[in-house]
């Protein structure tokens, strides 16, 4: 669906090294001709993720993820095809004409909003360092933020004036409408032009996962209210799909295997400055499904850090059900009363904070203890009312069943009746039916012999020619294999001598199954020691499978014809069946 011509994509892939791209995201180790790593897409202890510099593809033998550099970026960064191509074009120094832009004129609105936000962040950063920013700078220093952190998080200051940013942008010829769309200015009611949204506030740029600035939070430096104002929702910003700090912490989250969830900007910034590099903040304790799925790309474990007061409220734990429904393991860490991560780390340092995170307890136990303490163990109904909705959301049936059993034990009641009770709990969230995961797509039985042959055909033109001669391309019946073999045939037909699997994959941008077929086929061809024998075996195997399938189909039709008394049809079918049986013997 992209409008980027194939030649352009091929050109970018020619100038891209998949090893370089992937090693920028995860650590790769050389292993023979390939590189290995622990798969970033599933949890594992021994590496089954392989990157092939020759073929310019990656493949995980554990979860069956695989593809070229574009597919990797799309999956790893959670971005679309055009964006991934754009990233690679940038790396390769290829000027990408504006194919992807809807109206064909200039960069997309999103790209322009990123740009104007970036510019505004730099503008505020400058003001913070200037004469008029002294108070603000003093305030930040008092809060314990050092200058490196200020630049890394691009913290700035908006002057106590109405049109500072607007006028600056006028001089820079930035359209007023764009500033408004970015939420940086507000149209005045009297129609006298726009005024700045952020005034006399410390500015915290809010980044998306990939580090583009999508919005700002502005904080006052005294006790006036509101303490914070935020950008409105825009084309590129929605409160529900941003986790503050994720662009900085995603690496740390992956490496440490857990995300520490906190509440405010400072609760991310201060711990991060002290070396706690796996913190993110959601606005409010109730995470959205979108936020949970963003986190899940990096880890399946979340530690919520509460202060003792909040954690003492069962109500605040209710907000965590989204995490559980999303399949995350949730643990609760409680800070001493009155402390937040910001103040705690400043007073006690990183190690004490990490001790508390390590000591976090599972949500189930935590919540249950809390309820027992609050309601008394005899309030079976009250406790069950709070616990059952949480347990119901546990996606893993084994874990769910274990929770139920333990709850029944603790309350001294019958597990079966508890289970019945749970059945009555109304699910208060509507779960979107997710697209089948790549792993599911891949485990759908492909015809293994066809996959083997496809692998041979891709890897070697001679093999392709033999397959065409000895089997015939129209004998392939697997839809996905068929699609790929047609392209392979066209490429060889165009005079290609060798097929670059990475490029081949880029032909199936919107077709995960065809891509999976390519990756599997190549993996198969890779490990086959004796391609000649594989070819002969698989050709006869495909022929046999086709015959068996046809026989099954014809027999079924014969039965139908008998039932409806259609003699002519019966004769025809029996003739076909005997032909196939003759072939079989031959
Ligand atoms: Zn994997």
Q: What separation in Å is there between the alpha carbon of 551 and the centre of ligand 1?
A: 38
Give strand pairing partners of 301: 329
Q: What separation in Å is there between the alpha carbon of 66 and the centre of ligand 1?
A: 9
159 pLDDT higher than 80: yes
191 pLDDT higher than 80: no
**Mean pLDDT score across all residues of the chain:** 86
Q: What separation in Å is there between the alpha carbon of 144 and the centre of ligand 1?
A: 41
Q: What separation in Å is there between the alpha carbon of 288 and the centre of ligand 1?
A: 26
Q: What's the average model confidence in pLDDT over 542-558?
A: 86
Residue 583: predicted pLDDT = 79
Residues 6+ apart with CB under 8 A from 343: none
Task: Provide CATH 3.90.580.10 ranges for the chain.
Answer: 6-92
Residue 433: predicted pLDDT = 34
Q: Round to whole Å and give the CA distance between 342 and 260.
A: 13
- Topology classification of domain 435-586: DNAb Helicase; Chain A (1.10.860)
Q: What separation in Å is there between the alpha carbon of 454 and the centre of ligand 1?
A: 23
The CATH number of the domain covering residues in 241-434: 3.40.1360.10
Task: Provide CATH 1.10.860 ranges for the chain.
Answer: 435-586
Strands 185-187 and 194-196 come out as antiparallel
Q: What's the average model confidence in pLDDT over 27-44?
A: 88
DSSP 166-213: HHHHHHTT--HHHHHHTTSEEE-TTSS-EEES--SEEEEEEE-TTS-E
Most confident of the ranges 421-425, 426-430, 434-438: 421-425
3-state secondary structure of 271: helix
Q: What separation in Å is there between the alpha carbon of 439 and the centre of ligand 1?
A: 9
Contact 328, 296 (CB under 8 A): yes
577 pLDDT higher than 80: yes
> Cα-flanking dihedrals φ and ψ of residue 239, to 5°?
-50, -30
Q: What separation in Å is there between the alpha carbon of 446 and the centre of ligand 1?
A: 19
Question: Of 399, 395, 402, 369, nearest to 383 (Cα)?
Answer: 369
Question: Of 71, 99, 93, 40, nearest to 504 (Cα)?
Answer: 71
Q: What separation in Å is there between the alpha carbon of 152 and the centre of ligand 1?
A: 32
Q: Which residue has the higher pLDDT, 374 or 183?
A: 183
What does the pLDDT look like over 461-484, one tens digit per residue? 999 999 999 999 989 988 889 889
Residue 487: predicted pLDDT = 93
**Alpha helix locations (H) across 257-300?**
265-273, 289-296
Q: What separation in Å is there between the alpha carbon of 41 and the centre of ligand 1?
A: 5
Q: What separation in Å is there between the alpha carbon of 44 and the centre of ligand 1?
A: 8
Contact 287, 429 (CB under 8 A): no
> Using the 8-state DSSP alphabet, how is residue 473 labeled?
G
Residues 6+ apart with CB under 8 A from 385: none
What does the pLDDT look like over 333-379, one tens digit per residue? 989 988 999 999 999 999 999 999 999 988 888 888 888 888 877 78
First to last CA, the chain: 47
Range scoring the smallest mean pLDDT among 131-135, 375-379, 426-430, 465-469? 426-430
Give the CA dihedral 15, 20, 22, 27, nearest 10 degrees. 170
Q: What separation in Å is there between the alpha carbon of 50 and the centre of ligand 1?
A: 9
Q: What's the average model confidence in pLDDT over 415-444?
A: 54
Q: What separation in Å is there between the alpha carbon of 34 and the centre of ligand 1?
A: 16
Task: Provide CATH 3.40.1360.10 ranges for the chain.
Answer: 241-434
Q: What separation in Å is there between the alpha carbon of 484 and the centre of ligand 1?
A: 23
Residue 586: predicted pLDDT = 66
Give the rounded percent of residues in the chain with a pLDDT score beyond 70. Answer: 92
Q: What separation in Å is there between the alpha carbon of 40 and the centre of ligand 1?
A: 7
Q: What separation in Å is there between the alpha carbon of 39 and the centre of ligand 1?
A: 4
Residue 285: predicted pLDDT = 55
DSSP 360-424: -EEHHHHHHHHHHHHH-TT-HHHHHHHHHHHHHT---HHHHHHHHHHHHHHHT--HHHHHHHHHH
Task: Provide CATH 3.90.980.10 ranges for the chain.
Answer: 109-237
CATH class of the domain whose range is 6-92: alpha beta
CATH 3.40.50.11810 fits 109-237, yes or no: no
Q: What separation in Å is there between the alpha carbon of 303 and the centre of ligand 1?
A: 24
Q: What separation in Å is there between the alpha carbon of 27 and the centre of ligand 1?
A: 14
Q: Round to whole Å and give the CA distance between 182 and 52.
A: 42
Task: Evaluate the omega torsion of the peptide bond into residue 226 and state whether it is cis, within 30 degrees of 0.
Answer: yes
E-strand stretches of 420-562? none
Q: Which residue has the higher pLDDT, 394 or 72?
A: 72
CA triplet 506, 509, 511: central angle to 5 degrees?
125
| Ligand 1 (single-atom ion) residues, CB below 5 Å | 39, 41-42, 60, 62-63
132 pLDDT higher than 90: yes
Q: What separation in Å is there between the alpha carbon of 38 and the centre of ligand 1?
A: 8
Range scoring the smallest mean pLDDT among 225-234, 310-319, 413-422? 310-319
Q: What separation in Å is there between the alpha carbon of 64 and the centre of ligand 1?
A: 6
Q: What's the average model confidence in pLDDT over 526-541?
A: 83
Q: What separation in Å is there between the alpha carbon of 291 and the centre of ligand 1?
A: 22
Q: What separation in Å is there between the alpha carbon of 360 and the centre of ligand 1?
A: 28
Question: Of 130, 201, 192, 137, nearest to 166 (Cα)?
Answer: 192
104 pLDDT higher than 60: no
Q: What separation in Å is there between the alpha carbon of 443 and the centre of ligand 1?
A: 13
Q: Round to whole Å and give the CA distance between 127 and 133.
A: 6
Q: What separation in Å is there between the alpha carbon of 568 and the centre of ligand 1?
A: 54
User: How does residue 101 score in pLDDT terms, banded at 50, 70 and 90?
Assistant: very low
Q: What separation in Å is there between the alpha carbon of 247 and the centre of ligand 1?
A: 22
Q: What separation in Å is there between the alpha carbon of 290 and the centre of ligand 1?
A: 22
């Amino acid at each position: 669906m992209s409008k980027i011509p194939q030649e352009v994509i091929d050109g970018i892939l020619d100038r891209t090294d998949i090893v370089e791209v992937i090693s920028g995201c995860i650590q790769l180790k050389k292993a023979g001709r390939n590189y290995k790593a622990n798969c970033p897409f599933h949890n594992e202890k021994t590496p089954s993720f392989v990157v092939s510099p020759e073929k310019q593809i990656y493949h995980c033998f554990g979860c069956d993820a695989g593809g070229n550099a574009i597919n990797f970026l799309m999956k790893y960064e959670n971005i679309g095809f055009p964006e991934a191509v754009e990233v690679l074009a940038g790396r390769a120094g290829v000027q990408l004409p504006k194919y992807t832009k809807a109206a064909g004129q200039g960069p997309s609105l999103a790209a322009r909003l990123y740009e104007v936000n970036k510019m505004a962040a730099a503008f505020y950063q400058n003001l913070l360092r200037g004469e008029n920013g002294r108070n603000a700078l003093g305030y930040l220093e008092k809060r314990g933020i050092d200058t490196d952190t200020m630049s890394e998080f691009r913290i700035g200051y908006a002057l106590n004036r109405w049109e500072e940013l607007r006028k600056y942008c006028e001089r820079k010829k930035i359209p007023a409408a764009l500033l408004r769309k970015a939420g940086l200015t507000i149209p005045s009611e009297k129609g006298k032009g726009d005024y700045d949204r952020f005034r006399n506030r410390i500015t915290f740029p809010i980044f998306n996962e990939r580090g583009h600035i999508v919005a700002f939070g502005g904080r006052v430096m005294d006790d006036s209210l509101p303490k914070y104002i935020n950008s409105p929702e825009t084309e590129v910003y929605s409160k529900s799909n941003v986790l503050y700090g994720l662009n900085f912490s995603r690496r740390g989250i992956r490496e440490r295997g857990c995300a520490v969830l906190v509440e405010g900007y400072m609760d991310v910034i201060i711990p991060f400055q002290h070396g706690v590099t796996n913190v993110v903040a959601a606005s409010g304790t109730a995470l959205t499904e979108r936020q949970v799925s963003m986190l899940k790309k990096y880890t399946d474990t979340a530690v919520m850090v509460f202060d003792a007061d909040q954690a003492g409220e069962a109500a605040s734990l209710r907000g965590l059900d989204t995490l559980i429904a999303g399949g995350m393991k949730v643990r609760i860490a409680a800070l001493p009363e009155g402390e937040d991560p910001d103040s705690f780390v400043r007073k006690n340092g990183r190690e004490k904070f990490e001790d508390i995170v390590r000591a976090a307890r599972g949500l189930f136990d935590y919540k249950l203890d809390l309820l027992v303490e609050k309601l008394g163990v005899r309030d079976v109904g009250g406790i069950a009312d709070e616990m059952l909705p949480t347990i119901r959301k546990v996606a893993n049936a084994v874990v769910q069943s274990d929770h139920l059993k333990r709850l029944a034990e603790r309350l001294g009641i019958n597990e079966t009746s508890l289970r019945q009770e749970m059945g009555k709990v109304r699910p208060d969230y509507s779960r979107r039916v997710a697209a089948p995961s790549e792993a599911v797509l891949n485990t759908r039985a492909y015809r293994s012999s066809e996959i083997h042959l496809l692998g041979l055909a891709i890897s070697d033109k001679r093999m392709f020619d033999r397959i065409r001669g000895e089997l015939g391309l129209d004998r392939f019946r697997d839809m996905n294999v068929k699609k790929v073999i047609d392209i392979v045939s066209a490429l060889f037909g165009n005079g290609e001598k060798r097929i670059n699997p990475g490029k081949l994959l880029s032909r199936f941008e919107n077709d995960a199954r065809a891509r999976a077929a390519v990756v599997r086929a190549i993996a198969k061809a890779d490990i086959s020691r004796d391609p000649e024998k594989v070819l002969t075996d698989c050709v006869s195997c495909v022929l046999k499978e086709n015959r068996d399938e046809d026989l099954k189909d014809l027999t079924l039709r014969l039965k139908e014809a008998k039932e409806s008394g259609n003699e002519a049809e019966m004769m025809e079918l029996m003739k076909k069946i005997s032909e196939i049986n003759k072939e079989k013997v031959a």
